[in-house]
């Protein structure tokens, strides 16, 4: 059918056609680039037969079948699907950005992504994409001692590595070997190690061991995490921080685990946290450290914690609660308390703590540490106020549990 168009309409149609052709020639990653700095990125696409490349400005990579090694800084966009492949960032390589752009990658006997010692890597789940990383049961050097390639995690971040998981897309991690994500230690030789999670929608299923296990420092700043683990959901040998003061913090839903969140020094600043555990929901401990000052400091967040056979909050040192909304459900036995504190708690974080008379400060700190008194919900203790029958009942029930009656 012939159409009669004015010159203006013809010009407009030509412009639209040219724009459409320009867009069709651009890679998908150039069209949705909210999560990383674009320009010159190198795109690599996985398949079961190999890895194809769309060259960009960065050529710091090596391909061996379905194994990709990154050996120089740059932005590398990873996509495709592969039943047995891997990505390794070479030791000492910094300034690496790995953009997961609809990547489905399983590694048969090792980590799907390994950030070797002293690396600096940002792993981005691209906006609007769903990415899946997994391993097999062979990625465990305890149950498969002859497997020299085992890394014991789907994402392995070695000593001295500084790794950030982020992006506005989704990352699903299935750990059939041992851990979901493992971060290493700070050493004199390899440098400082840390693992940071922000913005990301992160779903981890780790039925064998920990969903996230860090040795040095674990920061969960924001994002949405859904976790199921055979052992700890979130574990750090030393320092673990959730959220930050003045921010909404992360949404963390731990649907099942042995222990929920554990670290030698645990700080919860903000967020919305739900925990279902069979042992302690929050734990400040590390059996490898002796004479250590363990701390649990909760200054914000909404926490709903349920355990079928452990303590709600268990600190092998001090416990400070100065803000937040907290509900703890535990088994009604002498050994399983809502709050179990080896040292007395602290009331210094409450806005009106100076109103507590000197003779009562030690007793009030103990009652706070034992979970009998947790404040009025507005960061105050109201030490000179009167108790309602409901508040008295809560204190009596707490005393009952402490005494094991």
| pLDDT 10s digits, 199-241 | 999 999 999 999 999 999 999 999 999 999 999 999 999 999 9
Q: What is the average pLDDT across 287-304?
A: 94
Give 107-146 as a DSSP string: ESSS-SEEE-TT-EEEEEE-TT-EEEEEE-TTS-TTT-TT
Distance CA 117, CA 97 (A): 16
CA 42, chain centre distance (Å): 28
Residues 104-117 have pLDDT tens digits of 999 999 999 999 99
Q: Which helix (H) or strand (E) holds 50?
A: strand 50-54
pTM value?
Answer: 0.80
How far apart, in whole angstroms, are the C-alpha atoms of residue 222 and residue 112?
24
C-beta of residue 229 within 8 angstroms of C-beta of residue 210:
yes
Contact indicator for 268, 303 with CB cutoff of 8 Å = yes
The span from the CA of 346 to the CA of 24, in Å, is 62
| Mean predicted lDDT score pLDDT of the chain | 87
Contact 100, 169 (CB under 8 A): yes
Number of Cβ atoms within 10 Å of the Cβ of 176: 17
pLDDT of residue 309 exceeding 70, the answer is yes
Rounded to an integer, the average pLDDT of 333-338 is 72
Query: CA 338, CA 21: separation in Å to the nearest integer?
Result: 63
Question: Tell me, what DSSP letter sits at residue 149?
Answer: T
Structure letter (DSSP) for residue 8: H
Burial class (CB in 10 A: 0-12, 13-18, 19+), 217: buried
Rg (CA), the chain: 26
Question: Cβ(161)–Cβ(183) under 8 Å?
Answer: yes
389-397 mean pLDDT = 78
Is pLDDT at 342 greater than 70 in this prediction?
no
SS3 207: coil
d(CA 134, CA 86): 10
Query: pLDDT band at residue 360, thresholds of 50, 70 and 90?
Result: low
**Mean pLDDT value of segment 300-329:** 91
Query: Residues in the chain, how many?
Result: 405
pLDDT band at 346 (very low <50, low <70, confident <90, very high): low
The two beta strands, 86-89 and 130-135, are unpaired
Residue 163 bridge partners (DSSP): 121, 195
Higher pLDDT, 384 or 369: 384
First to last CA, the chain: 90
Dihedrals phi, psi of 322, to nearest 5 degrees: -125, 5
Place of tokens 């609007």: 128
Among the residue ranges 68-77, 262-271, 375-384, the one predicted with the least confidence is 375-384
SS3 18: helix
pLDDT at 15 over 60: no
CA atoms within 13 A on the CB side of 159: 7
């Amino acid at each position: 059918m012939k159409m009669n168009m004015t010159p203006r309409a013809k010009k407009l149609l030509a412009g639209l056609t040219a724009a459409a052709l320009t867009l069709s020639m651009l890679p998908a990653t150039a069209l949705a680039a909210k999560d990383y700095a674009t320009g010159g990125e190198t795109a690599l696409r996985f398949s079961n037969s190999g890895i194809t490349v769309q060259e960009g400005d960065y050529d710091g990579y090596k391909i061996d079948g379905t194994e990709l090694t990154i050996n120089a800084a740059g932005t590398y966009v990873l996509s495709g699907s592969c039943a047995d492949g891997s990505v390794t960032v070479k030791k000492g390589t910094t300034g690496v950005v790995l953009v997961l752009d609809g990547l489905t990658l399983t590694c048969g006997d090792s980590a799907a992504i390994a950030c070797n010692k002293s690396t600096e890597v940002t792993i981005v789940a691209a906006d609007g994409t769903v990415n899946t990383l997994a391993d097999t049961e062979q990625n465990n050097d305890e149950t498969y001692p002859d497997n020299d390639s085992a890394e014991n995690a789907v994402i392995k971040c070695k000593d001295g590595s500084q790794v950030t998981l982020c992006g506005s897309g989704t990352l699903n991690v299935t750990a059939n070997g041992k851990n979901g994500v493992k971060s290493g230690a700070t050493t004199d030789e390899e440098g400082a190690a840390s693992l940071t999670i922000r913005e990301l929608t992160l779903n981890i299923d780790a039925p064998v061991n920990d969903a996230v296990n860090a040795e040095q420092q674990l920061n969960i700043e924001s994002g949405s995490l859904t976790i199921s683990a055979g052992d700890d959901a979130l574990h750090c040998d030393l320092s673990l921080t959730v959220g930050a003061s003045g921010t909404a913090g992360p949404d963390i839903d731990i649907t099942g685990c042995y222990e929920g969140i554990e670290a030698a020094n645990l700080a919860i600043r903000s967020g919305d946290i739900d925990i279902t555990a069979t042992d302690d929901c929050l734990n400040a401990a590390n059996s490898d450290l002796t004479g250590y000052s363990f701390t649990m400091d909760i200054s914000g967040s909404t926490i709903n914690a349920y355990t079928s056979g452990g303590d709600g909050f268990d600190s092998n040192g001090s416990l400070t609660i100065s803000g937040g909304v907290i509900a703890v459900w535990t088994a009604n036995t002498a050994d399983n308390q809502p709050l179990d504190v080896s040292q007395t708690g602290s009331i210094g974080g409450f806005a009106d703590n100076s109103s507590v008379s000197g003779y009562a400060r030690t007793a009030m700190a103990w009652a706070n540490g034992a979970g009998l008194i947790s404040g009025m919900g507005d960061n105050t203790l109201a030490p000179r106020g009167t108790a309602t029958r409901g508040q008295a009942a809560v204190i009596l029930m707490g005393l009952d549990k402490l005494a094991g009656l």
